[in-house]
Chains A and B, each alone.
Chain A
Amino acid sequence: MNARRHLALTAAFALIAMALPARAQAPSLADAAGSYSIATSSRIHFSIGQTGGGGIAGNFAKFSGKFRIDGGNVSRSSVEFTLFPESVRARERRIENFLRSSAVFDTDNYQTVTFRSTRVTQTGPSSANIEGALTARGKTRKERFAVTLTDWDKRSISFTIRGSIRRAPYGMDVGTPIYSNVVEFDMDIKGLRR
């Protein structure tokens, strides 16, 4: 029994040791070329600072999207993303209801927030800036997100995406200046190869 367990552990360590050199170098965008759909295991986190510290934070449970990484020319890559603000999750029900209300997302009249990339600029071997059209509450504006590739294998790919979006231009300025005008997005996006 002990010997078998020892053998299994040795085998596991050997496998990890073999895998390590491949992971030692930063993942490269060009190598991860392909078409992906965004997995539901992704995490769309946001936070809004408040005067005197603290603030509101939460995430969106429902979203969908797809993206394509062009191996030959990363700048020709593209992404389409749809968020359902009705699925917003925060630490309290009354915060969620307020965010869904006509004061913020107005989910009765606007069911989705969408993002369509217009320009991808590679900023490093595993990072890029994505510029695109963000539409919320019927208003469309150009916004930019910073993307870093964190992991990928044959079937899936992972990114962290960060962006700071000013909410006032979308008609969501309620609560300023107690709550910051700037919404910080911190997303862990997992893509599954299509």
Chain B
Amino acid sequence: MLRNGENDFGIVTIVLHWTIALLVLGLMVVGFAMRRIELDPALQFSLYQWHKSLGFTALGLALLRAIWWLTERTPRPVPGLHPFEHAAARQTHRILILLGIITPLAGWAVASASTLNMPSLYFNIIVIPHLPLQQSDSAEAFWALTHALLAYVMLALVAIHIAAAIYHQFVRGEAVLIRMLRSGFRRSDAAPVEAGEASEAVAGRNDP
């Protein structure tokens, strides 16, 4: 089951979701540590390089995720979800997918605009060129602030996303978390979807 079904997520979606989730959280921990904690300078330097390599990886996967999200069908919402909840979830997912791309792009801009002109040597293997930005202290500061703000917004949305998943799974008993963990998951209760909700789910699928 590589592809998404009518009611379930395929393996591609699930693997991309959790890989990006782990990468993004790891990047936030490393990013916070290297900027906000007094560290051994050599360790700090090393963390910066890891942050850049992992960040480029996250960017690549986030682009794949976005393409997959735009082209692949979206499973129907779990039954019992209010239209408002579904709409809020869709909005959150859309913004998270967007932030997954623009946050690392802003990070790439920091490395590119920095007057240190330090090459981005992806996992010590290949040089990733700088974005065509002017190198100056003010440009670097601007992009660093943008990158950090985007990351904090993403962190807040991720917290809401996790809280919602836990709430719906464990309090409301809706299989939102389970179906992102296990491909081919079928609702055991197989509750019939109300006509209005179903048509809304189909109509709302991959809206631009």
Contact = CB atoms under 8 A, between A and B. Distances in A.
B127 A174 contact: no
B119 A52 contact: yes
A94 B141 CA distance: 14
B50 to A, nearest CB: 13
A102 interface: yes
B124 A177 contact: yes
Contacts of B124: 177-178
A174 B42 contact: yes
Interface in A170-194: 174-175, 177-178
Contacts of B116: 92, 94-95
A40 interface: no
Contact of B115 (A92, A174, A177): A92
A98 interface: yes
B7 interface: no
A174 B43 CA distance: 9
B40 interface: yes
Contacts of A94: 116
Q: Which of B42, B116, B121 has the most CB of A within 10 A?
A: B42
Interface in B23-66: 40-42, 45, 49
Interface of B: 40-42, 45, 49, 115-119, 121, 124, 127
9 contacts: A50-B118, A51-B121, A54-B117, A92-B116, A98-B41, A102-B40, A174-B45, A175-B45, A178-B118
Given A101-B41, A178-B49, 5 more contacts: A50-B119, A52-B119, A103-B41, A174-B42, A177-B121
